[in-house]
């Protein structure tokens, strides 16, 4: 500390030397040249001098300081020559020693005294700080209510908040020994949540959710990782070029890049670039696509084969779709669907730019796709579901404050509907597939494991390994929820572990085209049923369409369904349960009777007859 | 989505002929390996919302499921039909044109960017040029590394090009791959 202060003083002194000398005019001209030389040719020498001084200690330093001032004071004929020689040539060591002769003794003494005092002050300050830290670390006290109120009135004091965060983390890791008397763990965690929220800018809900998912030390790593951006990646378009050739061309243009990792043969990571990486002629010719590393993962899990029929349910802006096409080498057929019309432009542009010719682009709501494309008609489906985006906070800071529990629940609801639609489109008997890949860029359990668990209950599917072994396995249990044990085959990716955005990938295989019975007491269904009378109507029309038959497989399916009990038929639509629904369905159908006096009419009448028969049977049984 | 009628077909083929000449036969009769069936079908042209698409038949069959207002794109778009019935090729047809082009021009590396900004090709930018170009022919522009950059109409014949001063226009610009960045919304 003393040394750095001294070095600062030295540099300012050398800069101040010319104006200072102006005051003493008689010395000005010649001294000016001397000091100028000093400052000119040895700014580095200055530092060298400083270092030498440091090694020698304060005395040497003060000597060379006094050297400058002393040279100014004296009639400088002899000393000037001597002084300039010393200045130009030598290190300060020999110079200062020879110069600190008796003439400058007083001044030297004074400056030494000043230095000593300064050193003393700094030492005292250090000690004080040590003392403070010691106090805090030995006995970290949670701030009392009064202190908290005081703090909330003042503007937030960031360094102290950060210190407090570090302290609480320390205490929590060794709770038994370091905890304050009478303070439960909960208090510490509450205080930590508040501090994290105010220091990093999160809202309470999100911080609470993250605290529930991660142990404290990992939580800190995660939050720090969210503050920094992930490296930018690009994917080679294997339809047009190879990674090695592309890397050569881009390096020639001045891009600093590396292969992505050993798990990808087409990825490159860009460190920095002299040309805009999104506007090179190679980009425009479709040789590569700018994509984040996490977006490679669902397509690698999907592993589409040549001549497959693939559906991408939420395709814009087209990074994953073009990857699928590249893996399929432009054979087979891809249905790329996107709900928002504004994003369709970028999707078609990317497809054409990358030279993809086997794709049909449509603009539907994903839930309607099974109706349009037919049930059990494709080999693979990729569902990169719209989500809350809590895994990509490093790209979009607004997620920190804008997500609430409602948002997460809405997303989860939508995702459950979409995944059922995805499963319904896949043909379980397809030769080369029957796979659905579900992925989100979120880390919330409600949007990831809960949705997969729901799908496992509602359809005849099972989880299979994704092929991405470097990820963390998904949760099997979380707080009070218990999921199917096969959920450990899903994969989670974190920014602080894998250096990519937060991501979740699950791969399902459809075992058969049947839709199993649904338990009427299942809670999520009741809530869904309440909000989806309209949905039931839609299901009614869909069931009717099945009977008309869009394709062979659909006809078979519907025949199979007709032979089942009617209750099953009702249950096979989402969330249909019990008597309440029968009534609603029948009222809906009655309303429909007026509009469409056709086959639905007949089917409903048939159902009601069967029910009546069954009711009679039950009455007979109970009577007997 | 509907097939092209007579006048539309003549317009499209006429424009294509300017660029590919007799290779038009290749384009129309190319076996396509798209679609999940194992025997290759053929390609055909379809019209959807004033855009002409070059699609393989397998895709066309399966695209009939999709309703007209919801169908956005299929296969490769090659151009747009105007109200008056004439046909303009767009940059998305470049891959198709480049593989069958009769008249080609190669640009020097230093002048690639100028063409990609939408400027015409000057004599000073020419690296190579194929023989027997007549004015008004369709020309596909490549870079020296054989990457297709765009296409245009020849302003001068090959002989005249040799006598031209370095600032004379050789190829009038019609479309280039820079359009993917400049006019993404207009494609």
Interface touch B147/A285, C-beta < 8 Å: yes
pLDDT at B1: 86
pLDDT at A101: 60
Residue matched to tokens 């199979």: A560
Sign for the CA dihedral angle at A83, A87, A93, A94 comes to negative
Residue B108 or A571, more confident: B108
- Per-residue pLDDT band for A570 (boundaries 50, 70, 90) equals very low
Give the integer Cα–Cα distance in Å for A122 and A110: 19
pLDDT at A594: 54
Q: How far is B172 from chain A (nearest CA, A)?
A: 20
How many angstroms separate the Cα of A211 from the Cα of each of A193, A196, A204, A452, A589?
8, 10, 11, 23, 49
Cβ contacts of A363 on chain B, cutoff 8 Å? 69-72
Residue A8 or B175, more confident: B175
Cβ neighbors of A38 (< 8 A, separation 6 or more) are: A14, A17, A45, A46, A87, A88
Q: How far is A273 from chain B (nearest CA, A)?
A: 18
pLDDT at A5: 45
Cβ neighbors of A158 (< 8 A, separation 6 or more) are: A199
Residue B91 pLDDT more than 60?
yes
Q: Looking at chain B from residue 21 to 60, which residues have their Cβ under 8 Å from any Cβ of chain A?
A: 33-36, 38, 56, 58-59
pLDDT at B31: 78
What would the pLDDT profile of A257-281 be if each residue is shown by its tens digit?
999 988 999 999 999 999 999 999 9
Cβ contacts of A278 on chain B, cutoff 8 Å? 181
Cβ neighbors of B124 (< 8 A, separation 6 or more) are: B111, B166, B167
Cβ contacts of B34 on chain A, cutoff 8 Å? 330-333, 357-358
To the question of whether residue A453 is assigned a binding role by annotation, the answer is no
For range B166-184, the mean pLDDT: 92
User: Of the listed A233, A387, A411, A441, which one is catalytic?
Assistant: A441
pLDDT at A130: 78
Among B170, B115, B108, B173, CA closest to B143: B108
Q: At what angle do helices A578-595 and A599-623 cross, to 10 degrees?
A: 150
- Per-residue pLDDT band for A618 (boundaries 50, 70, 90) equals confident
- Give the number of A-B residue pairs with CB atoms closer than 8 Å: 102
φ/ψ bin of A376: left (φ > 0), alpha (ψ from -120 to 50), beta (otherwise):
left
Residue A9 pLDDT more than 70?
no
Q: Which residue of A has its CA nearest to B187?
A: A349
pLDDT at A596: 53
Q: What percent of chain A has pLDDT over 90?
A: 41
Among A53, A506, A252, CA closest to B109: A252
Rg (CA), chain B: 18
For range A510-528, the mean pLDDT: 58
Cβ contacts of A351 on chain B, cutoff 8 Å? 73
To the question of whether residue A245 is assigned a binding role by annotation, the answer is no
Q: Which of B36, B67, B71, B140 to mutate to test the interface with A (most CBs of A within 10 A)?
A: B36
Helix/strand number for chain B, H first, E second: 7, 12
Tell me what the pLDDT averaged over chain A comes to. 76
| Complex ipTM value | 0.94
Q: Are A280 and A487 in contact (CB under 8 A)?
A: no
To the question of whether residue A338 is assigned a binding role by annotation, the answer is yes
- Per-residue pLDDT band for B38 (boundaries 50, 70, 90) equals low
Q: What percent of chain A has pLDDT over 70?
A: 69
- Specify the DSSP element, H or E, that contains A22: helix A2-23
Residue A469 pLDDT more than 70?
yes
Residue A558 pLDDT more than 80?
no
In sequence order, which ranges of A303-446 are alpha helices (DSSP H)? Answer: 319-328, 344-353, 369-373, 399-402, 405-425
Residue B99 pLDDT more than 50?
yes
For range A135-164, the mean pLDDT: 76
pLDDT at A517: 56
pLDDT at B10: 93
To the question of whether residue A349 is assigned a binding role by annotation, the answer is no
- Check if B64 contacts A (Cβ < 8 Å): no
For range A486-493, the mean pLDDT: 93
Residue B185 pLDDT more than 70?
yes
To the question of whether residue A320 is assigned a binding role by annotation, the answer is yes
Residue A454 pLDDT more than 90?
yes
For range B16-44, the mean pLDDT: 83
> In the annotation, is A233 catalytic?
no
Residue A368 pLDDT more than 60?
yes
Tell me what the pLDDT averaged over chain B comes to. 90
pLDDT at A453: 93
Cβ neighbors of A299 (< 8 A, separation 6 or more) are: A320, A323, A324, A327, A382
Residue B24 pLDDT more than 80?
yes
pLDDT at A417: 95
Interface touch A358/B34, C-beta < 8 Å: yes
pLDDT at A585: 44
Lowest mean pLDDT among A38-52, A525-539, B55-69, B90-104: A525-539
Q: Pairing between strand B2-3 and B51-56?
A: unpaired
How many angstroms separate the Cα of A122 from the Cα of each of A2, A109, A119, A616?
8, 20, 5, 97
Q: Are A285 and B176 in contact (CB under 8 A)?
A: no
pLDDT at A147: 79
How many angstroms separate the Cα of B134 from the Cα of each of A566, B16, B138, B156, B159?
75, 16, 9, 7, 9
pLDDT at A490: 94
Residue A99 pLDDT more than 70?
no
- Check if B20 contacts A (Cβ < 8 Å): no
pLDDT at B104: 93
pLDDT at A623: 76
Lowest mean pLDDT among A385-389, B32-36, B98-102: B32-36
For range B111-136, the mean pLDDT: 92
- Per-residue pLDDT band for A174 (boundaries 50, 70, 90) equals confident
Q: Are A107 and A69 in contact (CB under 8 A)?
A: yes
Residue A48 pLDDT more than 60?
no
pLDDT at A138: 54
What would the pLDDT profile of A378-426 be if each residue is shown by its tens digit?
999 999 999 999 999 988 888 888 899 999 999 999 999 999 999 999 9
Q: How far is B123 from chain A (nearest CA, A)?
A: 21
Task: Give the Cβ contact number of residue A173 at 10 Å.
Answer: 11
Could you say which of A333, A373, A374 has the minimum Cβ distance to residue B35? Answer: A333
Residue A129 pLDDT more than 50?
yes
For range A100-106, the mean pLDDT: 68
Interface touch B35/A364, C-beta < 8 Å: no
Residue A460 pLDDT more than 80?
yes
- Check if B95 contacts A (Cβ < 8 Å): yes
Q: How far is A538 from chain B (nearest CA, A)?
A: 18
Interface touch B149/A372, C-beta < 8 Å: no
Residue B14 or A85, more confident: B14
How many angstroms separate the Cα of A31 from the Cα of each of A46, A50, A83?
17, 21, 10
For range A205-224, the mean pLDDT: 91
Q: What percent of chain B has pLDDT over 90?
A: 70
By the 10 Å C-beta count (0-12 exposed, 13-18 middle, 19+ buried), B117 is classed as exposed
pLDDT at A126: 87
């Amino acid at each position: 500390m003393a040394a750095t202060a001294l070095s600062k003083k030295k540099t300012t002194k050398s800069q101040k030397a010319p104006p200072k000398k102006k005051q003493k005019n008689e010395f000005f001209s010649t001294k000016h040249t001397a000091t100028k030389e000093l400052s000119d040719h040895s700014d580095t020498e200055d530092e060298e001098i400083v270092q030498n001084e440091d090694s020698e200690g304060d005395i040497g330093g003060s000597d060379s300081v006094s050297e400058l001032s002393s040279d100014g004071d004296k009639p400088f004929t002899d000393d000037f020559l001597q002084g300039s020689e010393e200045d130009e040539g030598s290190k300060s060591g020999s110079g200062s020693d020879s110069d600190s002769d008796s003439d400058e003794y007083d001044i030297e003494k004074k400056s030494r005294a000043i230095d000593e005092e300064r050193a003393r002050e700094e030492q005292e300050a250090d000690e004080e700080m040590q003392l403070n830290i010691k106090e805090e670390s030995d006995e970290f006290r949670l701030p009392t209510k009064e202190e908290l109120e005081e703090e909330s009135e003042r503007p937030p004091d960031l360094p102290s908040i950060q210190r407090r965060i570090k302290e609480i983390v320390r205490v929590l890791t060794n709770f038994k020994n370091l905890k304050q008397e009478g303070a439960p763990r909960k208090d510490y965690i509450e205080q930590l949540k508040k501090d994290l929220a105010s220091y990093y800018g999160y809202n309470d809900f999100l911080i609470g959710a993250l605290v529930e998912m991660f142990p404290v030390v990992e939580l800190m790593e995660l939050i720090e990782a969210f503050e920094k951006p992930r490296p930018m990646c690009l994917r080679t378009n294997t339809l047009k070029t190879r990674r090695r050739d592309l890397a050569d061309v881009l390096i020639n243009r001045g891009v600093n890049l590396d292969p992505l990792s050993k798990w990808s043969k087409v990825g490159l990571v860009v460190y920095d670039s002299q040309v805009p990486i999104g506007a090179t002629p190679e980009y425009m010719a479709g040789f590569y696509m700018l994509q984040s590393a996490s977006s490679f993962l669902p397509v690698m899990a999907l592993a589409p084969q040549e001549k497959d029929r693939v559906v991408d349910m939420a395709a814009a802006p087209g990074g994953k779709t073009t990857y699928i096409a590249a893996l399929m080498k432009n054979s087979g057929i891809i249905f790329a669907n996107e709900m928002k019309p504004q994003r369709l432009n970028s999707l078609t542009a990317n497809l054409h730019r990358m030279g993809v010719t086997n794709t049909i682009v449509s603009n539907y709501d994903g839930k309607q796709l099974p109706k349009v494309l037919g049930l059990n008609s494709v080999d693979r489906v990729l569902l990169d579901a719209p989500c809350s985006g809590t895994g990509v906070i490093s790209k979009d800071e607004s997620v920190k404050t804008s997500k609430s529990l409602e948002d997460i629940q809405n997303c989860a609801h939508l995702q459950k509907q979409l995944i059922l639609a995805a499963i319904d489109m896949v043909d379980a008997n397809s030769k080369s597939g029957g796979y659905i890949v579900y992925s989100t860029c979120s880390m919330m359990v409600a949007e990831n494991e809960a949705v997969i668990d729901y799908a496992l209950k509602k359809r005849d599917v099972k989880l299979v390994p994704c092929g991405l072994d470097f990820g963390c396995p998904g949760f099997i249990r979380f707080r009070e929820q218990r999921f199917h044990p096969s959920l450990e085959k899903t994969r989670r990716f974190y920014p602080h572990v894998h250096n990519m955005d937060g991501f979740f990938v699950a791969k399902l295989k459809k075992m058969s085209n049947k839709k199993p019975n649904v338990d009427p007491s299942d809670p999520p269904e009741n809530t869904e049923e309440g909000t989806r009378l309209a949905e039931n109507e839609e299901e009614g029309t869909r069931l009717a369409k099945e009977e008309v038959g869009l394709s062979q497989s659909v006809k078979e399916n519907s025949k199979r369904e007709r032979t089942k009990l009617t209750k099953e038929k009702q249950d096979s639509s989402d969330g249909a349960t019990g008597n309440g629904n029968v009534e609603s369905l029948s009222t809906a159908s009655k309303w429909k009777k007026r509009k469409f006096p056709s086959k639905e009419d007949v089917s409903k009448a048939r159902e009601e007859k069967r029910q009546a028969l069954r009711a009679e049977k039950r009455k007979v049984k109970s009577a007997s | 989505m509907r097939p092209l009628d007579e006048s539309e077909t003549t317009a499209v083929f006429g424009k294509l002929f300017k660029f590919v000449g007799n290779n038009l036969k290749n384009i129309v009769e190319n076996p396509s390996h798209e679609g999940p069936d194992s025997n290759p079908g053929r390609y055909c042209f379809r019209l959807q919302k004033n855009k002409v698409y070059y699609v393989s038949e397998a895709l066309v069959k399966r695209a009939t499921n999709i309703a007209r207002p919801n169908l956005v794109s299929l296969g490769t778009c090659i151009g747009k039909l105007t109200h008056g019935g004439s046909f303009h090729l767009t940059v998305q047809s470049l891959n198709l044109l480049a593989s069958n082009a009769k008249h080609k021009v190669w640009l020097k590396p230093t002048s690639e960017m100028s063409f990609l900004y939408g400027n015409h090709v000057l004599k000073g930018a020419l690296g190579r040029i194929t023989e027997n170009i007549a004015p008004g022919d369709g020309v596909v522009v490549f870079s020296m590394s054989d990457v297709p950059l765009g296409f245009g109409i020849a302003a001068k014949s090959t002989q005249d090009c040799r006598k031209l001063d370095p600032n004379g226009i050789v190829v009038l610009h019609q479309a280039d791959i820079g359009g993917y960045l400049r006019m993404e919304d207009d494609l």
